[in-house]
Amino acid sequence: MLNVRKNCEDILPLFRYDVNGQDPELIWHLTEITGFFNISEVAVAKELVLERLNKGAESGYDFVIAEHYGKLTGYSCYGKIPCTQSSYDLYWIAVHPDFQGKGLGRQVLNESERLIRESGGTRIYVETSQRLQYSGTRAFYEHCGYRLESVLEDFYAPGDAKATYCKAL
């Protein structure tokens, strides 16, 4: 267990933006222990880090890595949507369970939004499941200013719709 102070103001992560050779396994572990993602999704999270390591910026995947006392505590992966002028996808955001509900996710999201804005981005899209398990995730996005744009019924599986949220920067 990581030692975490109770107030979100006490969590002052250090952000880095370049992935390194340890990150594929660390992000695999982080996404796995959240309990939100199935094994295929965890594999995709790792694959995107490997893609960035292998292709650099040409991969189209950018990262915000949050560390607290040298430990990976959260991250996001985002990228410009091909064939758009200024729209971005937020592909992943995950926070270590010891840091959930303490403001770290909001800090990682804010940093991602800042970087997207500085790169000329004007809209961010996020996709998530409509399953009950993801109600907290949807509430998080809504609390952070994202608006529900669409729901595609039975997208992931029968009874599992995809919700797409958007935030204009």
pLDDT by residue, tens only, the chain of 169 residues: 343 344 444 568 899 999 999 999 999 999 999 988 999 999 999 999 999 999 999 999 999 999 998 899 999 999 999 999 999 999 999 999 999 999 999 999 999 999 999 999 999 999 999 999 999 999 999 999 999 999 999 999 999 999 999 999 9
**In a domain? residue 153:** yes
Q: Phi and psi for 86 in degrees, rounded to 5? A: -155, 25
Q: Which pLDDT belongs to residue 95?
A: 97
Q: Out of 99, 121, 143, pick the residue that ends a domain.
A: 121
Q: How many domains does the chain have?
A: 2
Residues 129 and 50 in one domain: no
Residues 129 and 107 in one domain: no
Write the CATH number for 35. Answer: 3.40.630.30
Give me the amino acid identity at 23. D
Q: Which residues contact 31 (CB under 8 A, 6 or more apart)?
A: 37, 41, 42, 45, 46, 92, 94
Residues 89 and 133 in one domain: no
| Residue 115 lies in domain | 11-121
Q: Which pLDDT belongs to residue 12?
A: 81
Helix/strand/coil for 103: coil
Q: Which pLDDT belongs to residue 10?
A: 59
Residues 132 and 98 in one domain: no
**In a domain? residue 117:** yes
Residues 108 and 169 in one domain: no
Q: Which pLDDT belongs to residue 2?
A: 40
